[in-house]
Chain A
Amino acid sequence: MKVWNNILTQRTGLVALELDTVAGRVALVGGRGGDASGPSNLPGCDLEAAGSAACREALVEWVRASGAAGLRCRIALGASFFRCDSTTLPNMSDEELASSARFEAIDRFGLDESQSVIQHIAMGSSAGRRHVALLAARSDQVRRAAEITLEAGLLPESIEHSALTAARGALRWESAMAGEFVSALHIESSVATLSVWRAGSLVAVRTMAGDWNVSSNGKLQAQEPEALDAIPLEPVAAPCSWRWSALAEETLRALRQSCGESSWPSCLAISGGAAAEPELIRAVGGVCGVPTVAVECGQWKLSGLRCTGPSWASLAGSVVVDSAATQERRAA
């Protein structure tokens, strides 16, 4: 009966799901869920057949307990599942740009076209050339993420890059991000993604590999970056304050490369589990010379979403699209 009720009220209820290799999260937004429908942590999921069983079972149990079967689901995949890079292409039509970006991504990432899902983001143009962000994911992993939600009784609506969803939420709700030229840093267990935004449009994106898992004991561990385009950072066995200095310096280099010397972002919003570390905020803000804030999604005006802290930013940001659509419908 709950499934039929959810079908009838699926415009009001929505499930936000975040999948990552270390930890996942799920929450019910809107709808009429009970106490059992609160946000919940899920086991890590590598989106392989063998490594996703625990996450799938936990998600099935949560859906059954919260009565969310039949609801739409927006999925935010961790940055470690994506290949990300930026390039410049000649000015051309949107159709030609899509084809060229796809060809460039296959060539640059060395992907098999039949086994990849490739997207691109046009980031503006200069000197007769267009800057394009290339994003690619393994199709089997994307399909596996969709299958996990389908097996749990949910209906996947979208699968997005977690850094982009976190930036969407921060740009929409964080008052410090109201400036014309801002940046966002989304930190996950092994990849940090820096995005620079001008008037709501993406102008630069950069990924930085490392061990940014805050659940560790403060000691950095050597880790081989999976992404070929990621910049490997030397692991340093040092206290936390030193731990974040490598990320801060790399963030500074990425900002200089993306923004040049003429303009500098007015704010840097940090999301992800590591954003709760005060040393990280101080280190990045001090090194980059930009006001730095930790995203607090608990203050976002999302109906029924009961989660707080920067670690839930990508999950909450994935449903901002529906929140904006709802507000537009109400305004109309």
Chain B
Amino acid sequence: MSVPEINFLPTAVVREVRTRRSRRRTSLLGLLLLALSLGVGAHSWNSARKAEAARTVTTQLASRADTPALQEVIDRLASDQSELERALRVTDGLVPAISTASVVATVTHMLPEETMLSGFRIETEDSPRQLQVLLKGCAASGKALGEFERRLAACPAFTGVTMSERKATESMGTRVEAFTVSFQVPLDVQVRAPGVMRMAMGGVQ
């Protein structure tokens, strides 16, 4: 049940109302398009500025002849590093970590009474890096020789102590025990005091 709508609004007014609505919607749409265009334009302008800045930096880097390229710098540094490593290897070969004097002092400090050395040879080996020591001498008795061997074996800086030769002989009319002992000294030992050595890693005397 609905009463019909009897509309007295003139046709001209209806057209005018439609025109106003259309005009307002068009204006609203225009504003929205304007806002959208401004947004897109601002974004494009920012992007263009960033691209222009990147291009400018690239151009400047490429155009500077006196500026070494990055790869050249890297190559030069690598060359310097390899040369330094080679020099360090040569230095290690020429100047060992311990001196042979320290080894001689330590060995002579271990000599018991009535024991003397007649030969002392030290050689440097590259692999493994160590000193190869060969001792020759004689002792008045087997007891003194045994004591000398025990002292050498007890020293942590000396490894591979081996009595390679031991025989009774006569020297200047006296009976003695001639011997030959060999052992190795790693190059990383440290000298604490004259005649005393210790291992760098082991920490024991």
Contact = CB atoms under 8 A, between A and B. Distances in A.
Interface string B1-45: 111111111101100110011001100100000000000000000
Interface in A64-94: 70, 75, 77
A-B residue pairs, 10 tightest by C-beta: A200-B1, A168-B3, A146-B13, A159-B8, A158-B7, A159-B9, A117-B8, A155-B17, A119-B6, A142-B8
A143 B6 contact: no
Contacts of B28: 4, 7-8
A207 to B, nearest CB: 15
A172 interface: yes
A89 to B, nearest CB: 17
A155 B1 contact: no
Interface string A115-154: 0010101000000000000010101001100100010000
A56 interface: no
Given A143-B12, A158-B7, 15 more contacts: A3-B24, A7-B24, A7-B28, A8-B28, A142-B9, A155-B20, A156-B17, A157-B9, A158-B5, A159-B9, A160-B6, A160-B7, A161-B8, A167-B3, A320-B2
Contact of A164 (B3, B13, B16, B24): B3
Contact of B2 (A121, A156, A324): A324
Interface residues of B, number: 19
A159 B21 CA distance: 18
A171 B3 contact: yes
A10 to B, nearest CB: 8
B13 A156 contact: yes
Interface size class of A (residues with CB under 8 A): 35 or more
Nearest to A77: B8
Contacts of A287: none
A54 interface: no
Interface in B58-74: none
Contacts of B9: 75, 142, 146, 156-159
A159 B3 contact: no
A30 B10 CA distance: 26
Contacts of B21: 7, 155
Contacts of A117: 8, 10
A202 interface: yes
Contacts of A168: 2-3
A202 B3 contact: yes
A165 B9 CA distance: 15
B16 to A, nearest CB: 7
B2 A161 contact: no
Most chain-A Cβ atoms within 10 A of its Cβ — which of B2, B3, B4, B5? B3
A211 B53 CA distance: 86
Nearest to A165: B3
Contacts of A156: 9, 13, 17
Contacts of B4: 121
A199 B10 CA distance: 30
A69 to B, nearest CB: 10
A221 B190 CA distance: 136
Contact of B24 (A70, A158, A161, A171): A70
B145 to A, nearest CB: 114
A321 interface: yes
Given A3-B24, A7-B25, A155-B17, A200 B3 contact: yes
Contacts of B10: 117, 139, 142-143, 146
A63 B17 CA distance: 17
A159 to B, nearest CB: 4
21 contacts: A3-B24, A4-B28, A7-B21, A117-B8, A121-B6, A139-B10, A150-B20, A155-B17, A155-B20, A156-B9, A157-B17, A160-B6, A160-B7, A160-B8, A161-B6, A161-B8, A165-B3, A168-B2, A197-B3, A321-B2, A321-B5
A137 B24 contact: no
A327 B1 CA distance: 14
B28 to A, nearest CB: 6
Contacts of B2: 168, 171-172, 200, 320-321, 324
A199 B3 CA distance: 10
Contacts of A70: 24
Interface string A149-187: 010000111111100110110011000000000000000
A102 B25 CA distance: 37
Contacts of B7: 119, 158-160
A135 B8 CA distance: 9
Contacts of A157: 9, 17
